[in-house]
Amino acid sequence: MPTAPPNFAFGLAFIVDDYPDSIAAVVGGPSLRIPIGEGLVAVSGDRAASVIYRDAGGIRGAGGSTIIVREISTGHEVVRVDRPEQVATMVFAGGSLYFAGHPVEGATRDTGVDAINLADGTVREVIAPGPWPVAWSSFDLPTQYAQYQGTGDRWQLRVSPTGSIVASPACGPATPGGGADHCVIDVIDTATDTVTRPITDTAFYLRAVSDTTLYAAPEGPDIVAAFDRATGRQRWQVGGGAFWSSYATSQGAFIAAWVPATAAGPRPRMGVAALDATTGAMQMFDEVSTDPGLTLWPELSDDHYAVASRGGSLLEGAFRHGLRSVSADLIDLTTGQVFPYALTIPSPITP
């Protein structure tokens, strides 16, 4: 019988939320508790990036942000950079830390995207700051939301599995409680910092990205669509169920925890689904009853194996309540072989 790889996920970094602390941890390696008051935003390899919002006039964040990059193994600071904006999202890619955020005066202008060279700490502009698209000022908003006309926000940066591209969605106009209805998606080639905008107006939010494909979905989990990374052309759209935690492989496939819409009864079935990047054809793996069902852990998954927990928790919250370890299934995406509880991770919180 085939056996699961014994060292799968060894060396991969992930974030643990242990309020009020955040912990950067490496599978089979060290962990680092970030000082209280810092927000842990990104990890990769043996490095962790956190942010401190600086006060001004008694207002948190009004003084901008401080970005700190540390080695997880030693806690040594690699980079410390002060920024005028409120940094909200960061990803490691191509020897740099890409980041974006919000102006301290509000969402009336785009702060763009910048990057820190991790070798020397220098900061470079990648997407220039400027006004939001003119069209965002023309969309009709209810009178009570008139102050948000023409505003926007840079949403979560996404990096492809190879690190070759970083995608930066920006959405607006934003209305409280209603989300953002119009989005553009910028794509950064990390080798050259060349920027393109293949998607100029979509109602979908970016979920995952590969070197060839942008995956986006509406605010709810019921639909996912694939767009060509170069042209922005929509290849396909798939519904018929709820897509939850997800990631893209370097070959472009979309992997997600999925509950079919046809599931019925008090304990409907769910599983892990793989959608082909070109056709949207779906393959289903590891079906189990819900309650709590499966939760995909993208941080530890890759092109060959998807990692799915039967505990119902995202990885960052899986170690709460004093658990000394957590286990997850490994799913071979090529053969469909499922290795129940094949991956066990000791807690970086509880010795």
Neighbours of 280 (CB within 10 A): 15
Stretch (H or E) spanning 196: strand 194-202
CA distance 338 to 284: 11
Mean pLDDT of the chain: 89
Token representation of residue 166: 């970083």
Confidence at residue 69, expressed as pLDDT on a 0 to 100 scale: 98
- Return d(Cα 219, Cα 242) in angstroms, integer: 12
CA angle at 165 for the pair 241 and 301, rounded to the nearest 5°: 50
Give the contacts of 77 (CB within 8 A, at least 6 positions apart): 68, 69, 70
β-bridge partners, 179? 175
Say whether pLDDT at 351 is over 80: no
pLDDT, tens digit, for every residue of 164-203? 999 999 998 766 665 557 899 999 999 999 999 999 999 8
Question: What would the pLDDT profile of 90-132 be if each residue is shown by its tens digit?
Answer: 999 999 999 999 888 777 889 999 999 999 999 999 999 999 9
Q: Read off the tokens for 286.
A: 């590891």
Residue 91, amino acid: V
Q: Is 23 exposed, middle or buried (0-12, 13-18, 19+ CB in 10 A)?
A: buried
Across the range 72-76, mean pLDDT stands at 96
Q: Which pLDDT score is estimated for 176? A: 66
What's the mean pLDDT in 235-242? Answer: 92
Strands 86-93 and 47-53, bridge-based pairing: unpaired
Residue whose C-alpha is closest to residue 69's, from 20, 118, 16:
118
Q: Which pTM was predicted?
A: 0.92
| Tokens of residue 177, six digits | 């409680």
Span 135-156, pLDDT tens digits = 888 877 777 777 777 788 888 9
Determine the pLDDT at residue 294: 81
Q: Compute CA distances 81 → 122, 123, 157, 313, whole Å.
A: 9, 8, 19, 33
In whole angstroms, what is the distance from residue 206 CA to residue 213 CA? 11
74 pLDDT above the threshold of 70: yes
pLDDT tens per residue across span 291-345: 567 889 999 999 999 999 887 788 988 887 778 899 999 999 998 888 988 999 9
Phi and psi of 322, rounded to 5°? 75, 15
